[in-house]
């Protein structure tokens, strides 16, 4: 089995909403977020399929004898052992 580890801000976060408008699709609901625009849509067609996210670990094969629940448990344990990182407020500008 292959899996990957991604991060996305919460569905209602301002950055998520701004990205959904730009991509033209809400990755959480699958709904369109703006009118079709041929010029923009040609540029964002592939990213719009995946939604706004950060790849924390590229796709990998889970070792024999392990499953997705094992990955989830180990990732949770790893994250719990690290200090919280707080980022300052960000602003998107043109």
Question: What pTM, to 2 d.p., does this model score?
Answer: 0.73
Assigned token pair, 81? 């052992």
- In this structure, what DSSP letter does residue 57 have? E
Extents of the domains making up the chain: 2-80
Residues 10-26: tens digit of each pLDDT: 999 998 999 999 999 99
The CA distance from 16 to 14, in Å, is 5
Q: Model confidence at 73, in pLDDT bands (50, 70, 90)?
A: very high
Query: Is 60:69 a contact under the CB 8 Å cutoff?
Result: no
Query: Is 23:36 a contact under the CB 8 Å cutoff?
Result: no
Among 68, 81, 55, CA closest to 3: 68
């Amino acid at each position: 089995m292959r899996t990957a580890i991604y991060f996305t801000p919460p569905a209602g976060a301002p950055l998520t909403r701004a990205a959904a408008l730009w991509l033209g699709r809400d990755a959480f609901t699958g709904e369109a977020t703006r009118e079709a625009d041929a010029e923009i849509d040609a540029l964002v067609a592939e990213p719009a399929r995946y939604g706004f996210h950060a790849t924390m670990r590229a796709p990998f094969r889970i070792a024999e004898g392990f499953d997705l629940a094992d990955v989830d448990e180990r990732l949770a344990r790893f994250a719990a052992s690290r200090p919280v990182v707080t980022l300052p407020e960000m602003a998107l500008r043109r």
